[in-house]
Structure 1
Amino acid sequence: MVRDYQDHMSQELADLLRERGINPTVQRVEIARLLVYRRTHLTAEDVFRLVNHDGAHVSKATVYNTLGVFAQKGLIREVVIDPTRVVYDSNTVPHHHFYNTETGELFDIEGQTMSVAGLPPLPQGTEVEGVEVIVRLRSSADRVA
Structure 2
Amino acid sequence: MMISAQERGQDWLAKGGLRPTRQRVSLATLLVGDGKDRHVTAEGLFAAAHAAGEKVSLATVYNTLKAFCDAGLMHEITVDGTRSYFDTRMDDHPHYFWEEENMLSDAPAEELELTRIPSPPEGTEISRIDVVIRVRKI
Larger radius of gyration between Structure 1 and Structure 2 = 1
Q: Is the 8 A contact 2:31 2:37 kept in 1?
A: yes
The worse-fitting range, judged by mean Cα deviation, of 107-116 and 62-71 is 107-116
Aligned to 2:64: 66
Identify unmatched segments of 5+ residues in structure 1: 141-145
In 2, Cα distance between equivalents of 1:10 and 1:101: 33
State which of 16, 19, 33 in structure 1 corresponds to 2:15.
19
Report the 3-state secondary structure (helix = DSSP H, G, I; strand = E; otherwise coil) of the residue aligned with 1:81: strand
Deviation at 1:12, TM superposition (A): 4.0
What is the percentage of aligned positions where both structures have the same residue?
36
Which aligned pairs between 1:1-145 and structure 2 lie closer than 5 A? 8-36=4-32, 37-140=35-138
Identify unmatched segments of 5+ residues in structure 2: none
Letter in 2 for 1:94: D
TM-score for the superposition, normalised by structure 1: 0.83
TM-score for the superposition, normalised by structure 2: 0.87
Please list the CA deviations of residues 90-128 of structure 1 after superposition, one character each: whole Å capped at 9, or x if unmatched.
211110111121221222113232121221122112222
- How large is the Cα RMSD of the aligned pairs? 1.8
Please list the CA deviations of residues 70-105 of structure 1 after superposition, one character each: whole Å capped at 9, or x if unmatched.
011121111101111111112111101111212212
In 2, Cα distance between equivalents of 1:96 and 1:110: 7
